[in-house]
A and B are shown apart, each in its own frame.
Chain A
Amino acid sequence: MKVVLKTWLLITYMFLFAPIFMVVLMSLNLSAYGTFPFVFTTKWYYILFTESNLFPATWLSIKLSVSVAFTAAFIGTLTAVGMVRLPRKVAALYTGMTIVPIVVPWLVLGIAMLLVVTFLGLGRSFTALFLGNLVVTLPYVVLIVYNRLIDTDPAIEDAARNLGAGPNRVFFEITVPVAAPAILSGALMSLMVCFNSFVIQYFLSPFGVRTLPLEIFNLIKVGYRPDMNALASILVIVSFAAVISLGKLGSSADKLF
């Protein structure tokens, strides 16, 4: 029985990672169509950086996701601190409201947001793009930071007060530093989610503005390109780095949802 389960687990993860590793492998293979024999090359990376012209889209995506992540981390932390002061049941209700944007299909949410911003005269714009991404990343910060704060002994804030610290001092010297790893985790999650939020960007980006996911969408609609393998490999490595950082910050995967 144990062997069966272990084998099953192994096959499942092979299924999850085989396609990704295939792409990484092919990005290093000279043959444009992934055929054997395998000949090592960095040609596709060279082409990606010199000819593919993805730099403006990447830079835009980075700017967007960094600013969204910062804002989400700030507002999300305030929210979590506020929620801790609510009675548990009210806090649970508020959590329910907060996660609405990640449980509704993004197609529906994206359309609904597009309709409202158009109706308000904002239309497809950077403001709409920013706010739309903020609302889908905020839940991660709120949940992660809130859970950390709930797990923290409430008496440490009392202890700091007892040792002569005023309320503001307690907040900045005790509450925030204790929650700091969680805040960073939340920010990192936000960064990654926003960077990849294709559907939201698809509906809210100003016409003619291409973020990296929109650029990729157009590229893969056209079909297979070897330099795409190189791009995909780089982004997968970024994901791995993000996951390792999350692990180092003490976040566990099973608590992210």
Chain B
Amino acid sequence: MAKLEVDNLQKSFGLTKVLDQVSFSLSDGKLLSILGPSGCGKSTILRIISGFLVQDSGRVLVDGKDITNLTPDRREIGMVFQSYALFPHMNVYQNVAYGLRTHRVPKSEMADRIDQILGLTRLKGMEKRRIQQLSGGQQQRVALARALVLRPKILLLDEPLSALDRKIRGEMQYEIRNIQQEVGITTVFVTHDQEEALTLSDQVILLNEGHIEQMADPWHIYNQPASLFASDFLGRANIITGTLVHKESSWFLDTGDFCLTINHSEGFQPGQKVRGVIRAEHIRLLDSVYLAENQLSGIVLSNIFTGTVSKMEIAVHNTTALEVIALSPHVAEIKPGMPVKLGILPADIHCFPIREEP
């Protein structure tokens, strides 16, 4: 159990910069997700923390001690690999015991610790099974048990659920969270699945092209995106371009066709070109809710039923098509061609300045 600090990591492969000024710290017993599209450098961070890659510069500290110069076998950091990386020539027990053997744990203690960890991961009775006889979820638990039995200071999970079926994935999410909290181990979890990151974590880091876009708790990272990328990557977002207007102590986003009231943010300047981001589920259909501001009228282009929610495309002022998500039962009656009224809360519109090309 320990505190993990990552200080200003830089890493390039050849000319490609993979990590740029990555810093974060994670306090004892917390679970951090690193979320980002594939190729954004999330696995590289894990490989540096676990010692399989050496950073070009920057430090990794565990409980304030720099571990940069330790080889992977001396780091006391547990890791669960994407492919699980179970030893195919050993059974479940031997897999879990391997780390204890390399650490020369006495036989009697070894049996107790393995027994305890197999209980925790619900693997009792499977000690003699061969790896090839296990289901994906069971393999996952063996990998977890094998890492945890060593009582590492930090646990790293590299996309551990990506190889599982959808349904088992949901179960394993809860199981991992439960085990992590029971053991109380500081954990870094890498994923490209936003739902997974939001469900499991205390903290989420959103990584894009090697740099941290935003680090926050799940609620804030979803509801208060710090950048255009953050708002676009999480959830379904509508992006509209317009100009900022300041009138009678209020701020507006003028798209040329319609004007939306927005909340003021630091650094706004009248006349500034911005992109406004609105989550698809934040656009409300007005027959159910009354809003004073930001009423728009539109024509339904399509309404696609996807189960719990339905996805609609609605043309506003004949120029902009907005994507709207609502709970299916609420919008079952809405058909293409129908006129509808839409409303958007000012707080749900996030504006980001467009950087002028020099």
**Interface of A with B (CB < 8 Å)?**
152-153, 155-156, 158-166, 169, 173-174, 177-178, 180
Contact = CB atoms under 8 A, between A and B. Distances in A.
Given A164-B73, A164-B102, A165-B102, A178 B87 contact: yes
A193 B86 CA distance: 35
Interface in B123-158: 146-147, 150
B335 interface: no
A156 B85 contact: yes
Nearest to A163: B99
A160 B50 CA distance: 12
B82 interface: yes
Contacts, number: 65
A159 B98 CA distance: 10
B82 A155 contact: yes
Please indicate which of the listed interface residues B52, B79, B89, B99 has the most CB atoms of chain A within 10 Å of its own CB: B89
A178 B83 CA distance: 16
A77 to B, nearest CB: 16
Contacts of A162: 50, 72-73, 75, 77-79, 147
A177 to B, nearest CB: 5
Given A165-B73, A165-B102, A169-B102, A160 B87 contact: yes
18 contacts: A155-B83, A155-B85, A158-B79, A158-B85, A159-B85, A159-B86, A160-B102, A161-B71, A161-B72, A162-B72, A162-B147, A163-B98, A163-B102, A163-B147, A164-B74, A165-B73, A165-B98, A180-B89
B307 interface: no
Contact of B81 (A155, A165, A166, A173): A155
Contacts of A163: 73, 98-99, 102, 146-147, 150
Given A160-B98, A162-B73, 16 more contacts: A156-B87, A158-B52, A158-B85, A159-B86, A161-B73, A162-B72, A162-B75, A162-B77, A162-B78, A163-B73, A163-B98, A163-B99, A164-B99, A165-B73, A165-B102, A177-B89
Contacts of B85: 153, 155-156, 158-159
A152 B87 CA distance: 10
A164 B87 contact: no
B181 to A, nearest CB: 23
Contacts of B51: 161
Nearest to A157: B85
- CB-based closest 9 A-B pairs: A163-B99, A155-B85, A159-B85, A164-B102, A161-B72, A155-B81, A156-B85, A162-B79, A165-B102
Contacts of B74: 164
Given A163-B99, A163-B150, A174-B87, A158 B73 contact: no
Interface of B: 50-52, 71-75, 77-79, 81-83, 85-89, 98-99, 102-103, 146-147, 150
B27 to A, nearest CB: 23
Contacts of A161: 51-52, 71-73
B86 to A, nearest CB: 7
A164 B101 CA distance: 9
Contacts of A159: 79, 81, 85-87, 146
A156 B98 CA distance: 12
A166 B51 CA distance: 13
Name the residue among B79, B87, B103, B146 with the largest chain A CB count within 10 angstroms: B87
Contacts of A165: 73, 98, 102
B69 to A, nearest CB: 16
Nearest to B80: A159
Contacts of A155: 81-83, 85
Nearest to A176: B89
A178 B89 contact: yes
Contacts of A156: 85-88
A209 to B, nearest CB: 42
Contacts of A177: 89
Contacts of B102: 160, 163-165, 169
Contacts of B88: 152, 156, 178
B132 to A, nearest CB: 12
Contacts of B147: 162-163
Contacts of B79: 158-159, 162
Nearest to B96: A163
Nearest to A181: B89
A105 to B, nearest CB: 40
Contact of A158 (B72, B75, B103, B146): B72
A159 B78 CA distance: 9
Contacts of B73: 161-166
A160 B147 CA distance: 10
A153 B146 CA distance: 17
Given A156-B88, A159-B85, A164 B103 contact: yes
Contacts of A173: 98
